[in-house]
């Protein structure tokens, strides 16, 4: 394979960043704050209701100037316009990338191949709202005439992670007499546990799959069909207990789902960018159409901000560029996302697909091998739980892990002192990471000499803090769009296709070949490597051993 002509690493701004890194890499955040006491007031951006403090990063104004220059040299502005303009920027799949159209107001016009797609987006939203209202009000009756009490979304990847994350995030706004569950794994345990205490006559399945061919989802959907029909005893029940969300009407019809219960979307919506499409049907059922539309308005507000704001005041651009700074110059491998809100417990998992399936690439748009690092590993857990688990390594380990802290000023569940304790922890953690504790400070506390090195905190560990008034549907939309566009920004800098996912294909093909080989009676000769062959034989033997 051709190697990249290194156009990125040859860019003037990239080279200038390399030289600048040599100057700033050993400067401590203590020093940066001492030199500029107002740094914490200046290195912030407040827009669209989000307060973004990036002052605890190992940057100065020159760093930001150079990162912005890099974005400009890489043509970020033109690429944003290309995305919003419906150009086929997903080059390997020859598709437009228009999740921004999913949240465009009715009156906006966005053209794909000359067709304005906004009216059809709203037509689907209106149908979803009608369906959601009927289910939520009890107007929609199951096969035996009972109202729906349980909704189970069956999907995987973007057809699961967005819905489950949004449901958990917005649970406070959900209709509490409806139960929501999410089945994704082909492991039968997922389905069994999700349904073991439910009655089919009160359960609605939403089969969510862009392609409607994904093995895990179709296996779970067929199992759901059998489970429901076993209890309800009549094929006609499918129409009352199954809805589908897909781009593939033919396969939905083949499955036997009433087309009136199908909600469509389009090939220009990537799976990991689809939680605000019809894939959000379970979200709308939970929080209602008005809250869902508020979430879309939040997405749209961030879209407009991303499109219009200068890069040095642009929340997604800055978040993405800071990520490039650590990834490519400091050599950081990972980013920790640390929401101090229990409702955001699935947000890091959601971001894993968004960021890693998008930018986990090693060839450029032109197909040349990159000679620089691309997508970081994203991970995280809500605070304060993570503090009692992995924060030790972030504070005192040998790795530099940039962190995103996300917190809210007002809690949705005021309970005694809880919220102040939660938020004081967030603030304490970012402060401790940045400034640490010197040996002199540790000694001054009377620590014996032998213990001092163990109790020193080097500090100089960078973080962003995103502070928001309250978690609402609108805010969730803004937060997700913030990361979507940060991913886009990074993809433009690294010159990769952030919208394909060829890397998931090989495993799928090999699994299809292995499935029949796992049968104990299988006679088929095994022609894998010696490790895979031996593991298959062992599995066959033990699986067949009923003793």
* Residues of the shown chain interacting with ligand F6P in the complex, contacts defined by CB under 6 A: 156-159, 209-211, 214, 217, 271-272, 357, 501, 504
DSSP per-residue string spanning 341-403: -GGGTTHHHHHHIIIIIHH---B-TTSPBPSS--PPEEE---TTGGGGTTHHHHHHSSS---E
Compute the least distance from the CB of residue 506 to ligand F6P, in Å: 12
Minimum gap (Å) between residue 86 Cβ and ligand F6P: 21
Tell me if 352 sits within 8 A of 164, measured CB to CB: no
Tell me which residue has its CB nearest to ligand F6P. 271
The residue (of 161 and 322) whose beta carbon lies closer to ligand F6P is 161
The CA-CA-CA angle for residues 49, 50, 54, to 5°, reads 155
Q: Any catalytic annotation for residue 388?
A: yes
Tokens of 414: 């005021």
CB of 410: closest distance to ligand F6P in angstroms?
33
Shortest Å, Cβ 271 to ligand F6P: 2
State the catalytic residue, choosing from 25, 508, 541, 543. Answer: 508
Catalytic-role residue among 168, 216, 357, 484: 357
Give least dist CB 277 to ligand F6P, A: 11
CB nearer ligand F6P, residue 63 or residue 159: 159
* Pick 245 or 433: Cβ nearer ligand F6P: 245
Say how many Å lie between the first and final Cα of the chain, rounded: 52
CA dihedral in degrees (376, 382, 387, 392; nearest 10)?
A: -10
Structural tokens at position 157: 């990847």
DSSP summary character for residue 145? S
Bridging pattern class, strands 115-116 and 111-112: antiparallel
- How near is the Cβ of 511 to ligand F6P at its closest, in Å? 13
User: Which of the 8 DSSP states describes residue 364?
Assistant: -
Is 207 or 433 the residue whose CB approaches ligand F6P more closely?
207
Beta strands in 388-460, from DSSP E residues, in sequence order? 403-408
Two structure tokens written together for 523: 């006679």
Among the listed residues 388, 417, 445, 454, the single catalytic one is 388
Within 289-376, strands assigned E span 334-339
User: Which tokens go with 29?
Assistant: 């955040």
To ligand F6P, the closest distance from the beta carbon of 51 in angstroms equals 32
Reference 166, options 368, 388, 344; nearest CA is 344
User: Which of 214, 460 has the CB closer to ligand F6P?
Assistant: 214
Shortest spacing between CB 157 and ligand F6P, in angstroms: 3
Dihedral (Cα; 401, 306, 483, 69), 10-degree rounding: -30
d(CA 132, CA 18): 53
508 counts as catalytic: yes
Task: Decide the pairing of beta strands 203-208 and 179-183.
Answer: unpaired
| 218 vs 408: CA distance, rounded Å | 39
Closer Cβ to ligand F6P, 159 or 283, answer by number: 159
Asked if 370 and 1 touch (Cβ cutoff 8 Å), the reply is no
Q: Which ranges of 331-417 does DSSP label H, i.e. alpha helix? A: 347-352, 358-359, 391-396
Q: Which is nearer to ligand F6P, 59 or 165 (CB)?
A: 165
Query: Shortest gap between Cβ of 354 and ligand F6P (angstroms)?
Result: 10
Give residue for tokens 């003793």.
547
Smaller CB separation from ligand F6P, 271 or 380:
271
The span from the CA of 158 to the CA of 246, in Å, is: 12
Q: How many residues does the chain have?
A: 547
304 catalytic per annotation: no
Among 461, 459, 455, which Cα is nearest to 442's?
455
Instruction: Using the minimum distance from each CB to ligand F6P, give the nearer residue, 58 or 210.
Output: 210
- Beta strands at 403-408 and 334-339: parallel, antiparallel or unpaired: parallel
Q: What is the DSSP string of 180-193?
A: EEEE--SSHHHHHH
Do 287 and 176 meet the contact criterion of CB atoms below 8 Å apart?
no
The residues that are catalytic are 357, 388, 508
């Amino acid at each position: 394979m051709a190697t990249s002509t290194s156009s990125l690493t040859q860019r003037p701004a990239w080279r200038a960043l390399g030289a600048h890194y040599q100057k700033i890499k050993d400067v401590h955040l203590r020093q940066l704050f001492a030199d500029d006491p107002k740094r914490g007031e200046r290195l912030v951006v407040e827009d669209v209701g989000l307060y973004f403090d990036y002052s605890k990063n190992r940057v100065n104004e020159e760093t930001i100037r150079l990162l912005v220059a890099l974005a400009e040299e890489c043509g970020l502005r033109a690429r944003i316009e290309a995305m919003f303009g419906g150009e086929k920027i997903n080059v390997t799949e020859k598709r437009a990338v228009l999740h921004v159209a999913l949240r465009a107001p009715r009156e906006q016009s966005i053209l794909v191949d000359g067709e304005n797609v906004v009216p059809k987006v709203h037509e689907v939203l209106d149908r979803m709202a009608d369906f959601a209202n009927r289910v939520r009000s009890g107007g929609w009756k199951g096969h035996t005439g009972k109202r729906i009490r349980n909704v189970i979304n069956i999907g995987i990847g973007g057809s699961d992670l967005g819905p489950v994350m949004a449901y958990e995030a917005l649970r406070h706004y959900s209709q509490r007499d409806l139960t929501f569950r999410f089945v994704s794994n082909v492991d039968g345990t997922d389905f069994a546990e999700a349904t073991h205490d439910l009655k089919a006559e009160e359960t609605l399945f939403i089969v969510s799959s862009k392609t409607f061919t994904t093995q895990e989802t179709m296996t779970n959907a067929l199992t759901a069909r059998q489970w429901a029909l076993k209890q309800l005893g009549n094929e006609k029940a499918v129409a009352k207990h199954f809805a589908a969300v897909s781009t593939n009407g033919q396969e939905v019809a083949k499955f036997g789902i009433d087309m009136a219960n199908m909600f469509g979307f389009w090939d220009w919506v990537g799976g990991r960018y689809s939680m605000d499409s019809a894939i959000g049907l379970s979200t709308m059922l939970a929080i209602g159409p008005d809250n869902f539309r508020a979430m879309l308005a939040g997405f749209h507000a961030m879209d407009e901000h991303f499109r219009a704001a200068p890069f040095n005041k642009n929340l997604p651009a800055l978040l993405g560029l800071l990520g490039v700074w650590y990834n490519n110059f400091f050599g950081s491998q990972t980013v920790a996302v640390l929401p101090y809100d229990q409702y955001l417990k699935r947000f890091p998992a959601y971001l894993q697909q968004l960021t890693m399936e998008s930018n986990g690439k090693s060839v450029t748009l032109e197909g040349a091998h990159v000679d620089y690092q691309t997508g970081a590993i994203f991970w995280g857990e809500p605070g304060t739980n993570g503090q009692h688990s992995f924060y030790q390594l972030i504070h005192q380990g040998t790795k530099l892990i940039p962190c995103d802290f996300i917190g809210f000023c007002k809690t949705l569940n005021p309970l005694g002192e809880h919220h102040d304790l939660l938020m004081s922890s967030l603030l304490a953690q970012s402060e401790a990471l940045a400034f640490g504790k010197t040996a002199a400070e540790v000694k001054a506390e009377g620590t014996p000499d032998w213990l001092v090195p163990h109790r020193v905190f080097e500090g100089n560990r960078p973080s962003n803090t995103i502070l928001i008034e309250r978690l609402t549907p609108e805010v969730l939309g803004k937060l997700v769009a913030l990361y979507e566009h940060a991913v886009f920004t990074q993809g433009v800098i690294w010159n990769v296709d952030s919208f394909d996912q060829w890397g998931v294909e090989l495993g799928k093909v090999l699994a299809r070949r292995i499935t029949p080989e796992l049968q104990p009676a299988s006679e088929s000769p095994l022609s894998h490597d010696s490790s895979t062959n031996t593991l298959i034989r062992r599995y066959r033997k033990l699986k067949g051993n009923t003793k």
